Structure 1
Amino acid sequence: MDWETQPEIIRQAHDYALQGWDLAREWLLSPAAWSQFALLVVAYLVALVVSRKLKPVLRQLLTPPEGQDHAIARARRFLLLLVPLLLPLLAYGFTGMGENITRSVFGSGEVIAFGKRVFLFLAVRILVHRIIQDPFLKAVGKYILVPVAAIYAVGLLGALTTWLEGTVVPLGNMSFSVLWLIKAVVTGGVIFWLGRWSNDQSASFIEQQKEMRPATRQLAVKAAEIAIFGAAFLILMNILGISLTSLAVLGGAIGVGLGFGLQKIAANFISGVILLLEGQATVGDYVELDNGEAGTIVKTTARAMILETFDGRWIVVPNEDFITTRVVNYSDQGSANRYEAPFSVSYNTDINRVPDIIEKAVSKLDFVLQEPDKPDCELRAFADSGVEFAVEFWVNGIDDGKNRFTPQVLFAIWNALKEHDIEIPFPQRVVHHKGLPPGS
């Protein structure tokens, strides 16, 4: 076959195949190569024996007692996950020592260096397939780390890197190599994954600090999030070799555009920071908006607060509304609140007896507080059908939707009135008939 007439990629593959055949034939006929191969086998067998002895000991040392969840216990569990790497890493280390011996004796060590790279590839493969559980990291390892380790094992990583670096992608007045693009994507993904993980850990730690006010905890969580991802962005720019000075002009132009186009988002973000600083409303508070909607704050974000109503609906309220409109906050993490239950009695009742009867009945309910005030029954009006009263009572919490405490109070009122033979009136109308008109 005339290889000169074949496409360039075919000729390159043919040249690499010839080089590989020459190298393999040289290894097969070389005593140094056979010595290195023997050292590879010995290194693997020694690593196998040592790993079988060490694995039970390491598992016993690294397994924390049941129920422990402090930092040291979590670190021990993490190291326990890495035990499957013991065999390939020991083989890699013993092979490295054998490589030093063969290079000092024979002046070469290509065979044993190849074996060392193979052991490293096996370690990477075990890491990706058996240890990493996070979906993002597993995808990065499966599609990038394992192929790169395989290419490195066969000794072609240098040639591939040179080719990728020489392949330039033009983009307007700028240009970048394919290698730089791959590096940017992988590095950026890993760094921001680490940022997300660090943010989750810091948020969990801050939420456990119960001595801090809820609003202070929320502010600390947001500040840590901004700091972590800001640092991740600066680290990524430094790794990629992008000067922050060159981004200043572009950032200024984008900032002007965002200032006009995203005024509401900026206002909501600043309003959220103000709310966190002042602590006027935070997670767990029951609030009523100016438009009459009410609910418990279950989540705060940079743009809005999420309220959950008593019937399970979620209301997304922009942070700006909490600053520019009237908001009634009924609670501050479990404070006492006052409610009232209206009722009426017949005009035939001795109304002087009613307050004492109702106050005693309501005071017997276990959720009704005696401080700051005991239940107070008040005369409200002389209505068309009966005498109207209302009993005021204090409870520790929110009577959300008037379905939590008020119905039980009304039941107590009903039973007390029935027990004392006090009639609860219903609407009545009196019709006067003056007779038929004359001539009918």
Structure 2
Amino acid sequence: MVAALVQQRGFRQKNGRTARGIKALDIDLTTLPGPVRQAADWALQGWEIARQWLLSPAAWSQFALLLTAFALAWLVTRRLRPVLSRALTPEDESSGLLASLRLFLLIFVPLLLPVLAYLLTDVGEGLIRALFGSGAVIAFGKRLFLFLAARILVREIVTDPFLKLIGRMILLPVMALYALGILEPATQFLSDTTIALGNIRFSALSVVRGLIAGSVLFWLGRWSNDRTGGYIERQEMRPATRQLAAKAAELTIYGIAFLLLMNIIGVPLASLAVLGGAIGVGLGFGLQKIASNYISGVILLLEGQATLGDFVELDNGVSGTIVRTTARAMILETFDGRWVVVPNEDFITTRVVNYSDQGSSNRFEVPFSVSYDTDINRVPAIIEEAVATHPAILDSPYPPDCELRGFGDSGVDFAVEFWCNGHDDGPNKFTSDVGFLIWNRLKAHDIEIPFPHRVVELRQTGPEAA
């Protein structure tokens, strides 16, 4: 660190050389703002250290060691990296724990150069310190190699977009400050800078620490939630139970992440009890509907009355397929492409018709009529045979059934009943297809479909009529 190096060489802020450097530059640091004055002080200290390194034989020897270590690491990496890549790359059809471990190690092969340079420099550091009693340049070089390793990690190894953004915005600046030796002064400066919001005061370092920890924790929460959700989806259980387990795991993971974040920032967990009490009072007075919908959603998941993919019709006539469930409501997609948000409470307190019921079949019917001149004893067999040819018509629980419904004004009324999976709307056109089948089969057997006949009688009165 710069402060330690300054003390080792006798370059304090108020010493003679620094004062002469300030006077030579004709700069009055007392007239500058606080952050600018601090940055200028660090710059002058860095200039003094750099000048001392340039004029010191011990520093030149350490520079030579760093260059030698880097050149040797580059030569070894050039020969060793292809060998490691071939050795760690698994065969095309190989799988299992060993293959996964080899792929994991293969990811970190680009770190070979800075790691080797760091290790070789560390080996020579003891000899240099024994000869010259100083190793500031070597310490700077080792930190520089760690910065290069972090840069390679962010650019070549990390593939997740969010982690790559964190690496660029947070990890690389922190490693750059560490390499320059000013990480501790910068941390102390942020710790001394306070931010006030009313009666609440906290340091800028707490804000930075909270942003970093929050980003990492909630990314880990999302990653854990995705893995947990995938594991739950592979289990053999009812869809409603899977969904409830996934929601419970999500709440648990993010709840733990929130508590850890509060602890890292420094917010006492006892204060959360007061916040929980306030939320409870709010639920009791102003958030009754939200609480009711949330509890109704849990009941729906437990009982499995309505889940994703079910086609439901509410008591108010709204119908559609459940495409999404939230803690507050269910979202229905109608056949005209509209999304309808229905509170969970409506599924508990009102009448709901579930046409899907976890994949069960539904019964439909198509009415038709034949002429009174037809031998009606032939009709059921003809129609049942025709309807059974449709690929979506089921034989279970019952095959197609043609029934005589009555004797109408123009013809004999029939209706054919059949079972299908799904609802007769949108992509499914069961009744329309069956209507075509009935028409074509009746025409093929010369069976007439009647139409109404009317007799109109015209009456005239008066002399012309007589």
**TM-score, normalised with respect to structure 1:** 0.91
Q: Which of 210, 228, 244 is the equivalent residue of 1:184? A: 210
- Structure 2's unaligned 5+ residue stretches are 1-22
Alignment correspondent of 1:417: 442
Separation in 2, partners of 1:402, 1:87? 60
Matched, 1:206 2:232: yes
Distance 1:223 1:58, change over 3 A: farther
- Structure 1's unaligned 5+ residue stretches are none
Deviation at 1:11, TM superposition (A): 5.1
Distance 1:73 1:300, change over 3 A: farther
Larger mean CA deviation between 71-80 and 248-257 belongs to 71-80
> Which secondary structure does the structure 1 equivalent of 2:419 belong to?
strand
Conservation of the 8 A alpha-carbon contact between 1:285 and 1:329: yes
Separation in 1, partners of 2:101, 2:435? 56
Code of the aligned partner of 1:31 = P
Measured against aligned partners, the alpha-carbon deviations of 1:128-163 in whole angstroms (never above 9, x if no partner) come to 233334333333222222222111111111111111
Code of the aligned partner of 2:118 = Y
Q: Which of 300, 308, 317 is the equivalent residue of 2:342? A: 317
Deviation at 1:56, TM superposition (A): 2.5
Matched, 1:426 2:456: no
Deviation at 1:87, TM superposition (A): 1.6
Matched, 1:274 2:299: yes
Deviation at 1:12, TM superposition (A): 4.3
Q: Which of 49, 52, 66 is the equivalent residue of 1:23? A: 49
Deviation at 1:377, TM superposition (A): 0.6
Alignment correspondent of 2:460: 436
Larger mean CA deviation between 83-92 and 393-402 belongs to 393-402
Distance 1:196 1:404, change over 3 A: same
Separation in 1, partners of 2:39, 2:427? 79
Measured against aligned partners, the alpha-carbon deviations of 1:397-423 in whole angstroms (never above 9, x if no partner) come to 433359432222222211211111111
Distance 1:70 1:317, change over 3 A: farther
Code of the aligned partner of 1:42 = T
Separation in 1, partners of 2:97, 2:414? 60
Conservation of the 8 A alpha-carbon contact between 1:3 and 1:11: no
Separation in 1, partners of 2:239, 2:97? 24
> Which secondary structure does the structure 1 equivalent of 2:128 belong to?
helix
Percent identity of paired positions between Structure 1 and Structure 2: 66
Measured against aligned partners, the alpha-carbon deviations of 1:198-223 in whole angstroms (never above 9, x if no partner) come to 112211222222x2211111111101
Distance 1:91 1:331, change over 3 A: same
Deviation at 1:14, TM superposition (A): 4.8
Matched, 1:347 2:347: no
Code of the aligned partner of 1:296 = T
Q: Which of 54, 60, 78 is the equivalent residue of 1:34? A: 60
Deviation at 1:62, TM superposition (A): 4.2
Measured against aligned partners, the alpha-carbon deviations of 1:316-336 in whole angstroms (never above 9, x if no partner) come to 222211111111122244322
Alignment correspondent of 2:114: 88
Code of the aligned partner of 2:193 = T
Conservation of the 8 A alpha-carbon contact between 1:338 and 1:394: yes
Distance 1:270 1:294, change over 3 A: same
Distance 1:69 1:312, change over 3 A: farther
Q: Which of 65, 76, 79 is the equivalent residue of 1:53? A: 79
Q: Which of 118, 125, 129 is the equivalent residue of 1:99? A: 125
Matched, 1:249 2:274: yes
Code of the aligned partner of 2:252 = A
Conservation of the 8 A alpha-carbon contact between 2:214 and 2:261: yes
Alignment correspondent of 1:129: 155
Deviation at 1:21, TM superposition (A): 3.1
Conservation of the 8 A alpha-carbon contact between 2:329 and 2:342: yes
Distance 1:15 1:306, change over 3 A: closer
Alignment correspondent of 2:201: 175
Code of the aligned partner of 2:121 = T
Alignment correspondent of 1:292: 317
Alignment correspondent of 2:176: 150
Separation in 2, partners of 1:70, 1:230? 34
Alignment correspondent of 2:393: 368
Deviation at 1:308, TM superposition (A): 2.6
Task: Spell out the pairing of 1:327-338 with structure 2 (5 A cutoff).
Answer: 327-338=352-363
Q: How many residues align?
A: 438
Conservation of the 8 A alpha-carbon contact between 1:124 and 1:145: yes
Separation in 1, partners of 2:429, 2:104? 46
Alignment correspondent of 1:164: 190
Conservation of the 8 A alpha-carbon contact between 2:312 and 2:320: yes
**TM-score, normalised with respect to structure 2:** 0.86
Separation in 1, partners of 2:331, 2:452? 43
Deviation at 1:166, TM superposition (A): 0.6
Conservation of the 8 A alpha-carbon contact between 1:287 and 1:331: yes
Deviation at 1:314, TM superposition (A): 2.7
Q: Note the aligned Cα RMSD (angstroms).
A: 2.5
Deviation at 1:75, TM superposition (A): 6.1
Deviation at 1:241, TM superposition (A): 2.6
Larger mean CA deviation between 68-77 and 398-407 belongs to 68-77
Conservation of the 8 A alpha-carbon contact between 2:207 and 2:265: no
Separation in 1, partners of 2:301, 2:200? 43
Deviation at 1:274, TM superposition (A): 0.9
Measured against aligned partners, the alpha-carbon deviations of 1:153-181 in whole angstroms (never above 9, x if no partner) come to 11111111111111111222221111111
Separation in 2, partners of 1:178, 1:261? 36
Distance 1:111 1:401, change over 3 A: closer
Separation in 2, partners of 1:246, 1:314? 41
Measured against aligned partners, the alpha-carbon deviations of 1:7-41 in whole angstroms (never above 9, x if no partner) come to 25565455434432332233233333222222212
Q: Which of 377, 382, 394 is the equivalent residue of 2:419? A: 394
Task: Spell out the pairing of 1:201-240 with structure 2 (5 A cutoff).
Answer: 201-209=227-235, 211-240=236-265
> Which secondary structure does the structure 1 equivalent of 2:356 belong to?
coil
Distance 1:437 1:72, change over 3 A: farther
Deviation at 1:345, TM superposition (A): 1.4
Larger mean CA deviation between 401-410 and 32-41 belongs to 401-410
Separation in 2, partners of 1:315, 1:408? 29
Separation in 2, partners of 1:3, 1:377? 104
Q: Which of 317, 327, 330 is the equivalent residue of 1:302? A: 327
Deviation at 1:120, TM superposition (A): 1.4
Larger mean CA deviation between 31-40 and 408-417 belongs to 31-40
Code of the aligned partner of 2:303 = E
